[in-house]
Chains A and B, each alone.
Chain A
């Protein structure tokens, strides 16, 4: 199961802390009470120990970021068991362990860990604690929870039994980490600690986010007939507008102006003209969306999320830039509300910011198209038989050929291109 690691409260009046250093990398094994990260408050640097043993599956707050106390900064996959994803809301709502994790329990701890390894399914900290307190052999308890998981009730029922050997048959134990593939599908048991010697591989459970991304990508490829068309766009006018207003925007609004809101604005104009791009397929019906809600792909340290700018057609370049900065920032600090990643009708992915010239993105289901933005580069181009230096970018549109034919796809991108090449709207 997943355990949330939160920013601890280091004193009464302290409301936030700066995460200065991760002492473990995602995928690394961490022992309970082993230093996991460092925070800095005033002139005090504090090592924060791990609340549990397991694999650090997700790091949600990067080094140097200041977050309020009880913010979830990481997730630890306990015992290396791939847990069924739990409902997100319940997880996020609960600020987990207290500021000062209790001192390591005496000698009992190691034996508990061993016991855990013999039991199918993940164990909650509560069950672990109960087992420790009553010195129980968990392999003797029959789990009735999901996937044979041992619940608090199971332990209580076991304890309520009259003294004597338990009648419940032992839970069949998956023999060893090596046998993992044979184990039940929900619990791919793996050992995060490589055995001594020189292992040739390292097995690591996917984080919940990774699993979801994997699922979604394959689902999309299976669902849509992906076709990608690539157009070259002269961004010189936009580049000039951006250069002219960048400093002013920074000074007046406190964020930097990128190419992305220009492309978004142009896409909005094209979506208005070609509603079939702003649609989805439902069985044998086409659903045309009257709202233009644009998802913007945001790269996270260990994954990706697509928060949505609602009613993007009602925003100018500045409004779009502000929305992008806000959503991306909160995506990275894990503060997006569930509704902010839902309801998108079209998506844009800006791989150009990572230096990519062009790519063929995967459609964000149930949408029918996604626009990819390549890097803007000064390039020699031929204009009226003369060579000129222009700011060029490649736009790629992946569309679902079930609904959209090549001609419409290209007309759409042509419209985006025209808006960008003839940019006339003022930013400030």
Chain B
């Protein structure tokens, strides 16, 4: 069975996490390391995908700055999204050639990981055709945006655990005018660590790999 190194990074700055995943993706491409799964939480940040449209960002820079939200254009797929405390963010760095050479298959598998994770917390989630992501009763609970270079993935997904959903007012998430939700809003008070561990387990199952927890990274400053 393939192994996948799990790195739980805690609360980490977006720019720092971006640098880390880019570095890991580069090493993965060169075959210096195996597959990686980064699980973490960001401070308030709004990111724009490669095909994102600025008009889906509803607030101006000044408003964002005053609200303490940083803004990054990125090279992932998808439109605009928000990350912040209470949201479990996952960046799998996988070489898909060792799994399946199928980008859609990959996105569907990520959705499955999240659907199965939510099921363990008693939440029935599913897909909406053509609207990538994970949905609960027409509300989006998890967003997906991936970058692929030589079959090595970066960026990934964001699952709202106890996210303060009012921050989504600054954007039209993924360019869709559909509401967002979180596990907390659905009445499940789980802490991020518990969701993270469950998700890692489901990830290993769906991607058929053994997760090796090393997490040799400096502990992120807590709150």
Interface residues, chain A, with chain B CB atoms under 8 Å away: 10-14, 20-21, 33, 35, 38, 40-47, 49, 99-101, 103
Contact = CB atoms under 8 A, between A and B. Distances in A.
B102 A44 contact: no
A43 B145 contact: yes
A47 B148 contact: yes
A20 B31 CA distance: 28
A340 to B, nearest CB: 33
Given A45-B75, A45-B77, A14 B104 contact: yes
Contacts of A41: 77, 103-104
A409 to B, nearest CB: 51
Interface of B: 31, 49-51, 75-78, 97, 100-107, 132-133, 144-151
Contacts of A101: 150
A24 to B, nearest CB: 15
A100 B107 contact: no
9 contacts: A14-B102, A41-B103, A42-B132, A43-B49, A43-B107, A43-B144, A44-B147, A45-B77, A99-B101
A14 B103 CA distance: 9
A11 B50 contact: no
Contacts of A100: 97, 101, 150-151
Contact of B106 (A20, A35, A44, A103): A44
A98 to B, nearest CB: 10
A20 B77 CA distance: 10
A9 to B, nearest CB: 8
A43 B146 contact: yes
Q: Which 9 pairs, one residue from A and one from B, show the smallest C-beta to C-beta distance?
A: A11-B102, A45-B77, A46-B148, A47-B149, A44-B146, A43-B132, A43-B77, A44-B103, A10-B103
Contacts of B76: 45
Contacts of B107: 42-44
A12 B78 CA distance: 21
A72 B51 CA distance: 23
A12 B145 CA distance: 20
B148 A44 contact: yes
Given A38-B50, A100-B97, A100-B151, A44 B77 contact: yes
Contacts of B133: 43
Nearest to B157: A43
Contacts of A99: 101
A45 B147 contact: yes
Contacts of A35: 149
Which of A42, A43, A45 has the most chain B CB atoms inside 10 A of its CB?
A: A43
Contacts of B132: 42-43
B18 to A, nearest CB: 15
Given A11-B102, A40-B50, A45 B148 contact: yes
B142 to A, nearest CB: 12
A143 to B, nearest CB: 33
